């Protein structure tokens, strides 16, 4: 016998090449729907740039850019039905908007966060900062749906760095063993802060890791909105039909800094960033739409102006929402507070009032 690597056998699935030419099978989407996907992608980019500007003016908290990742964020959420669940990290904010989160609520999240502003009917979990845990939450929601016999599907999405966490591996294991109706998406943007993808796993692709858990997987070009949409639609419907989980790796790139607290010039080359800029997901999709006469440059300018206006209005609304009370998060941590948590709450309030505490 010969000990050898299992052939990953995967090239990223593509429908549009970098020039925006059709190289695969078009998903069944009306012209109106295609334009709406494009608008969401523009909204995502403008939103990201706006929050960074607000952070620089002291009007928003730390924020992670999503520029370059708009196709993955929009494509992973667009095929979901209203009753389906979505559990994301801090990087897929535009996915939440596609699922119905009002823009002012999302902007408010970068001034503070209180769950009462968060509509429960959109079936989105709050943004997860603790790396990888949302994958377990998605699998849990999917297992609950399966046990209660409804046709709800859950989507969990994390980054390439999250795949090294125990939680990610446990989520895949549970999903496989219990055949949960879940789609687990790894948004591989090349970096986990300053740690490159190749230091996360020796596996040739992150999608290839599904095999070890008995989960079918797909590698998709994450800067190709149509490919991400088509793959997600198929995986979601597979789950809904009782055929179990799917692991999806979307290959994309974080063009901006990890967050407003990061300086990526310290660990990666400008050449690498420029090479990925040339694969911009918005340019690619726009070229396709122009080639199909779905809109023209003038309409594009109008669309971008309308998106910017929508964001400015949402910022005004978010800035008139009352600031959250500093101790309000204790109200949402558990049904009743243990003595230790009550003590911590009192300590926090004392600190806020006097500037002194433990
Ligand atoms: C459990 C845990 N460990 C460490 C961190 C600090 N941290 C925040 S973001 C990040 C990198 C995550 O990289 P990746 O999963 O690739 O997601 P990306 O930021 O690239 O979208 C780390 C280590 C954290 N938030 N949670
Ligand atoms: Mg990453």
| pLDDT tens profile 208-219 | 999 999 999 999
Same domain, 286 and 340: no
- Residue 21 within a domain: no
Whether pLDDT at 258 is above 80:
yes
Task: Confirm whether 210 is domain-assigned.
Answer: yes
Cβ neighbours of residue 99 closer than 8 Å, sequence gap 6 or more: 77, 80, 86, 122, 123, 124
Residue 6 confidence (pLDDT): 65
Percent of the chain exceeding pLDDT 90 equals: 88
- Is the beta carbon of 261 within 6 A of some atom in ligand 1? no
What's residue 81's pLDDT? 98
Q: What is the rounded distance in angstroms from the CA atom of residue 28 to the CA atom of residue 26? A: 6
Q: 341 and 311, same structural domain?
A: no
d(CA 74, ligand 1 centre) in Å? 21
Residues 148 and 280 both lie in one domain:
yes
Query: Which structural domain range is residue 105 located in?
Result: 31-324
Closest CA to 302 of 26, 90, 38: 38
**Three-state secondary-structure class, residue 246:** strand
288 & 342 share domain: no
CA of residue 8 to ligand 2 center, whole Å: 21
pLDDT, position 326: 87
Instruction: Give mean pLDDT, residues 157-175.
Output: 98
Which residues are in the CB-under-5-Å shell of ion ligand 2?
A: 159-160, 189, 192
Q: Please, which pLDDT band fits residue 322 given cuts at 50, 70 and 90?
A: confident
Which of 5-19, 186-200, 286-300 comes out lowest in average pLDDT?
A: 5-19
Q: In the prediction, which pLDDT does 136 show?
A: 98
User: What whole-number distance in Å separates Cα of residue 69 and Cα of residue 276?
Assistant: 11
Question: Which residues are CB-contacts of 178 (< 8 A; sequence separation ≥ 6)?
Answer: 139, 143, 146
Confidence bin at 11 (pLDDT 50/70/90): confident
Q: What is the mean pLDDT of residues 217-228?
A: 97
- Domains of the chain: total: 2
In order, the DSSP letters of 22-54 are B-SPPPS--HHHHHHHHHHHHHHHHHHHHHHHH
Query: Could you tell me the CATH number of the domain that includes residue 292?
Result: 3.40.50.970
> Which among 168, 171, 192, 222 is the best mutation to test ligand 1's pocket, defined by most ligand atoms within 8 Å of the CB?
192
Paired with 251 in beta bridges are: 188, 221
Identify whether 16 is part of a domain: no
Per-residue pLDDT, 259: 97
* 4 — pLDDT class (breaks 50, 70, 90): confident
Strand segments (E) across 210-263: 217-221, 246-251
Inside any domain, residue 283: yes
- Tell me, yes or no, whether 15 lies in a domain: no
Q: Are residues 122 and 202 in the same domain?
A: yes
The pLDDT score that the predictor gives to residue 94 is: 96
| pLDDT at 199 > cutoff 90 | yes
**Does one domain contain both 57 and 108?**
yes
Per-residue model confidence (pLDDT) at position 8: 62
pLDDT score for 355: 85
Residue-wise pLDDT tens digits, 42-60: 999 999 999 999 999 999 9
Pick the range with the lowest mean pLDDT from 58-62, 137-141, 161-165, 189-193.
58-62
Do both 351 and 214 map to the same domain? no
- Whether residue 11 lies inside any domain: the answer is no
Please state the atom number of ligand 1 nearest to the C-alpha of residue 91.
21
pLDDT computed for residue 114 by the predictor: 67
353 shares a domain with 312: no
Environment class of residue 73 by beta-carbon count within 10 Å: exposed (0-12), middle (13-18) or buried (19+)? Answer: buried
Looking at the CA of 88, which ligand is closest?
Answer: 1
| Angle at 127 (CA atoms; ends 206, 333), nearest 5 degrees | 120
On whether the CB atoms of residues 176 and 214 are closer than 8 A, the answer is yes
- Average per-residue pLDDT for the chain: 95
Lowest average pLDDT, out of 99-108, 133-142, 319-328, 346-355, goes to: 319-328
| pLDDT score at 323 | 82
Q: Which atom of ligand 1 is closest in space to residue 188's alpha carbon?
A: 16
The two tokens of residue 203 are 């596996």
Query: Do residues 211 and 355 share a domain?
Result: no
- pLDDT over 80 (residue 145): yes
pLDDT the model gives residue 64: 96
- The model carries a pTM of 0.95
Q: What pLDDT sits at residue 332?
A: 82
**H/E element holding 142?**
helix 133-148
Q: Is residue 114, in this structure, part of any structural domain at all?
A: yes
Atom of ligand 1 nearest to the CA of 160: 16
Residue 131 beta carbon below 6 angstroms from any ligand 1 atom:
yes
Mutate-to-test residue for ligand 1 from 48, 69, 170, 193, highest number of ligand atoms within 8 A of CB: 193
In a domain, 8, yes or no: no
Q: What is the DSSP letter of 265?
A: G
Q: Closest ligand to 162 CA? A: 1
pLDDT tens digits for range 68-88: 999 999 999 999 999 999 999
Note whether 187 and 157 are within 8 A (CB).
yes
Is the CB of 264 inside a 6 Å radius of any atom of ligand 1? Answer: no
pLDDT number for residue 63: 95
pLDDT band for position 115 (cuts 50, 70, 90): low
Residue 236 has pLDDT above 80, yes or no: yes
Whole-number Å distance between alpha carbons of 197 and 182: 24
Q: Are residues 166 and 251 in the same domain?
A: yes
Q: Which residues of 17-43 are buried (b: 16+ CB within 10 A; e: fewer)?
A: bbebeeeeeebebeeeebbebbbbbbb
One domain, residues 347 and 220: no
Q: Are residues 353 and 270 in the same domain?
A: no
pLDDT of residue 264: 97
Q: What pLDDT is attached to residue 17?
A: 97
Index of the ligand 1 atom closest to the CA of residue 64? 19
């Amino acid at each position: 016998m010969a000990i050898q690597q299992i052939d990953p056998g995967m090239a990223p699935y593509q429908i549009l090449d970098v020039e925006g030419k059709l190289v695969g099978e078009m998903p069944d989407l009306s012209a109106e729907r295609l334009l709406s996907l494009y608008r969401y992608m523009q909204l995502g980019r403008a939103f990201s740039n706006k929050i960074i500007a607000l952070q620089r003016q002291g009007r928003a908290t730390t924020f992670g850019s999503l520029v370059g990742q708009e196709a993955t964020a929009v494509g992973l959420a667009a095929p979901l039905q209203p009753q389906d669940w979505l559990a994301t990290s801090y990087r897929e904010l535009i996915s939440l908007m596609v699922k119905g989160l009002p823009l002012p609520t999302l902007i408010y999240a970068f001034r503070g966060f209180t769950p009462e502003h968060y509509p429960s009917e959109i079936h989105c979990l709050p943004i997860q900062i603790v790396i990888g845990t949302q994958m377990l939450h998605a699998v849990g929601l999917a297992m609950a749906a399966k046990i209660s016999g409804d046709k709800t599907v859950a989507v969990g999405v994390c980054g390439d760095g999250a795949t090294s966490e125990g939680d990610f591996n446990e989520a895949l294991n549970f999903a496989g063993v219990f055949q949960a109706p879940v789609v687990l998406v790894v948004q591989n943007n090349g970096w986990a802060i300053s740690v490159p993808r190749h230091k996360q796993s020796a596996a040739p692709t992150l999608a290839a890791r599904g095999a070890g858990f008995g989960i079918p997987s797909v590698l998709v070009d994450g800067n190709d909105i149509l490919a991400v949409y088509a793959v997600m639609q198929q995986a979601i419907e597979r789950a809904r039909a009782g055929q179990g989980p799917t692991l999806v790796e979307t290959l994309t790139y974080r063009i901006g800094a990890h967050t407003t607290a990061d300086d990526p010039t310290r660990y990666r080359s400008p050449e690498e960033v420029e090479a990925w800029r040339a694969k911009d997901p918005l340019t690619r999709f726009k070229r396709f739409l122009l080639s199909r006469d779905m809109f023209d440059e003038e309409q594009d300018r109008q669309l971008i102006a309308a998106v910017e206006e929508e964001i400015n209005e949402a910022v005004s609304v978010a800035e008139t929402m009352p600031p959250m009370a500093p101790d309000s998060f204790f109200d949402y941590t558990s049904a009743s507070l243990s003595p230790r948590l009550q003590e911590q709450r009192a300590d926090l309030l004392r600190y806020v009032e006097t500037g002194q505490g433990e």
